[in-house]
Each structure stands twice: as C-alpha cells, then as structure tokens.
Amino acid sequence: MPFKQIGRELGVRYVLEGSIRRLGNRIRIVGQLIEAEHDRHIWTERFEGSLDDIFDLQDRITESVAGAIEPSLRLAEIERARSKPTANLQAYDLCLRALPHLISSATKGGNDEALELLSLAIQMDPGYSYAKALRAWAFTMRKAQGWATPTEVAEGLRLAEEALLDHRDDPSTLAYVALSLSYLGFEHERALGAVNRALALNPNSTRTLLSAGWIRSYVFDTTTAIEHFQRAMRLSPLDPEMGYVLSGLSFAHMVAGRFEEALSFAKKSVIEAPGWTSGHTVQIQCLVHLGRIDEARSAAQRLLKIAPQLTVSEWRSRNAIRDPERIERACGALRIAGIPE
C-alpha cells in the first residue's frame, strides 16, 4: 500500500516502517521513517545481532529509534512549516519557524526573529505552554550571548513559570523551562525537578539530555552531566544542536578540573557553532589554566570579534554558577587572555 494512502487512512504525516531478516542465529532489522505525503525518507538505520541477545538488541533499537526520530521529525516539520505561506501558519507552525533560529545559529538577528514568531504564537493561543517555554529559552540564549536586558530576563522567567504551572507532561516544554529557570533565575533545584520529570517522560530526548547536562554542571554534579551529554551525542550524532552539546560537555569537564578534555570539546564546539560564545570562553579559560597564554590571547581576540560587547564584568553577571571562588578564578583567566574589564 502506498505510504501516501497509509498516512491518509491513519491520519498521520510520518510512517515508521521496518523489516526483519534471519539467517541461522543472526538477525537483521531495518527501520526507516518516511514522510507519507511525498514518500520521502527521513531516517534509515540497520541493526544486527544474535537471537541469544535479542532483548539487548530490542533495547538498543528502542533507544536508537527514539533518539534519532526526535531531531529528524523536528527538522522535517521545520521544512514543512517553511514551505507554507506565513499568513496561514498556526501557533505550532510559528514555533517550528522559530526553531531554526534557536538550534542552528546564534545571531542576534535570528534570536530577534525567533522572539517575534513566538510572540505571535502566544498571541494566537495565550495558553500555549510550549510556545511560552520556547520564548523563555530564546531569552535564555539571549542572556547567554550577552544581549538580554533585565526586562527581557524577567520576561523569560515569567514565561518559564507560566509554562511550568500550566503544563507538566510534555518533556520538551519541561526541558526548555528547566534550563530557563536555572540560567535566568538561578533556581537550580526547581530546574532539576522539572528536567528530571522530563527525563522520566522521555529518557531518549537529546533536548532533555542537553538541558539536564547543563543544569547538572551548574550544581557541580559533573559526572552525571557528562553522562547526559555523552548519551545525547550517542543518540543523535548529527543533531542540529550538537554545538550546544559539545560546549556543555566542555563546560562540565572544565568544572570538574579536566582542562585537557574540556579544551578538546571546546574546540569542537567552536567549529560546530562558531557564533555560540560559551565554547569560546571555555576554550580561553582552559588554555590559561594549561599555561598556553599566547593561544588564550589569540582565542580571546577571535571571541571579541564575535562578541565585541563582552567584558569580564558582563560575563560575571550572567554566569549561572554561584560559587564566588570559581567565578573569580574564571574571571582572572579571561583577564589574562585580554578580555577587557
């Protein structure tokens, strides 16, 4: 039966199809995600194992499918939303149109566009918790990049609070809300409660693992943070938010005092998401701690070209770690590298 007909009869946009082949004690399973309307392949994966390990193979397939399908569907929905006339978009489509500005780039213009789209979505549906969570996350990114005003930080916190109160069963909403509460309001304990609930609802969501990793780093639980980031990378190695995952992994290693490992991941983060300042600042701090001052100063000059407004005092004001000794040590490293006071 054609996939277009299957989608129409079942009332779905996407179909997950699979096949299984057996040869002796070996088994091969192939799964593929197909966009039904245009018979377009979104994702394909092959799994092999023995019948002796059938339950382990089943768990591996479940983990891989869940982890890969989430970002694949998200990108497919973004493309679908982009192809529709703006005048006909509903609130959900507006959220999808905002997502590319939040997951694939870190520019102020892109952030402005995302905020505008999400504002429209909330105007269309004032009770739309996911749109509120996304808008709170946009303000969170804005603060992380040094663009947010105190009024915008306050609005982000308000939206996060509203979304958390209104909606407790959508893991994506909870994941965005949790990181916003943690970074904008330093409410790490409440944030942990929200992100732990999100993980319980969907342990294979890269977005949830990303939020959980950052929050765990802020409270110095670096072992768990690194596990979350590594799991996100394993589940979705081509995830559009990989730059943020890598910067989080580098940050967690730095907080743990493993500067060589942190530097390695920070360099990868800068390549993956060059406009995202977190990877740059971690790289600078690690180079200073490792005594590679000339490299740190070169890295600082590259960062200042991206973020000319950056100063040590401004960076200190938006740091989510509330340990004065660690913050001063980090500020000292930035000063040594040439970031202005």
- Distance separating alpha carbons of residues 314 and 340, to the nearest angstrom: 10
Q: How confident is the model at residue 35 (pLDDT cuts 50, 70, 90)?
A: confident
Q: What is the pLDDT of residue 87?
A: 34
Residue of 96, 320, 120, 170 whose CA lies nearest to 104: 96
Whether residue 269 lies inside any domain: the answer is: yes
In contact, 68 and 43? CB cutoff 8 Å? yes
Whether residue 70 lies inside any domain: the answer is: yes
Range of the domain at 52: 3-82
Mean pLDDT across 155-180: 91
- Distance separating alpha carbons of residues 141 and 276, to the nearest angstrom: 9
pLDDT > 90? residue 72: no
Whether residue 219 lies inside any domain: the answer is: no
User: What is the token pair recorded at 20?
Assistant: 């299984």
Q: How confident is the model at residue 79 (pLDDT cuts 50, 70, 90)?
A: low
Q: Which residues contact 106 (CB under 8 A, 6 or more apart)?
A: 141, 145, 273, 275, 276, 277
Q: What is the pLDDT of residue 84?
A: 41
Q: What is the pLDDT of residue 169?
A: 76
Mean pLDDT across 275-290: 96
pLDDT > 90? residue 5: no
Could you give phi then psi for residue 258, rounded to 5 degrees?
Answer: -100, 80
Could you give phi then psi for residue 249, rounded to 5 degrees?
Answer: -65, -40
pLDDT > 80? residue 85: no
Alpha-carbon torsion, ordered 33, 36, 41, 45, to 10 deg: 20
Cα 71–chain centre separation: 10
Q: What is the pLDDT of residue 82?
A: 45
pLDDT > 80? residue 51: no
| pLDDT tens column, 244-279 | 999 999 999 999 999 999 999 999 999 999 999 999
Question: Residue 49 is part of a domain; what is its CATH number?
Answer: 3.40.50.10070
Residue of 73, 207, 204 whose CA lies nearest to 133: 207
Tokens 């001052």 belong to residue: 293
Q: What is the pLDDT of residue 10?
A: 75
Residue of 61, 66, 71, 73 whose CA lies nearest to 12: 73
Whether residue 230 lies inside any domain: the answer is: no
Alpha carbon distances (Å) from 217 to 140, 168, 263 = 16, 23, 16
In contact, 183 and 139? CB cutoff 8 Å? no
Radius of gyration of the chain (CA): 21
**Higher-confidence position of 303 and 69:** 303
Highest mean pLDDT: which of 73-87, 229-243, 281-295? 281-295
pLDDT > 50? residue 50: yes
In 3-state terms, what secondary structure has residue 208?
helix
Whether residue 199 lies inside any domain: the answer is: no
Burial 89-115 (b: 16+ CB within 10 A, else e): bebbbbbbbbbbbbbebbeeebbebbb
Q: What is the pLDDT of residue 164?
A: 92
Q: What is the pLDDT of residue 80?
A: 55
When divided into structural domains, the chain yields a total of 2
Q: What is the pLDDT of residue 38?
A: 67
Helices (H), the chain: 3-10, 54-82, 91-103, 108-124, 129-144, 150-166, 171-185, 188-201, 206-218, 222-235, 242-255, 259-272, 277-289, 293-306, 312-317, 324-337
Whether residue 336 lies inside any domain: the answer is: yes
* Among 82, 114, 142, residue at a domain's last position: 82
Q: How confident is the model at residue 68 (pLDDT cuts 50, 70, 90)?
A: low
* Among 82, 107, 122, residue at a domain's last position: 82
pLDDT > 80? residue 4: no
- Distance separating alpha carbons of residues 34 and 13, to the nearest angstrom: 9
| pLDDT tens column, 187-236 | 999 999 999 999 988 888 899 999 999 999 999 999 999 999 999 999 88
Q: What is the pLDDT of residue 105?
A: 62
Length of the chain: 341
* Among 49, 82, 115, residue at a domain's last position: 82
Q: What is the pLDDT of residue 279?
A: 95
User: What is the token pair recorded at 64?
Assistant: 């891989």
Q: How confident is the model at residue 86 (pLDDT cuts 50, 70, 90)?
A: very low
Whether residue 92 lies inside any domain: the answer is: no
Question: Residue 265 is part of a domain; what is its CATH number?
Answer: 1.25.40.10
What mean pLDDT, rounded, does the chain reach?
Answer: 87
pLDDT > 90? residue 11: no
In contact, 288 and 336? CB cutoff 8 Å? yes
Whether residue 74 lies inside any domain: the answer is: yes
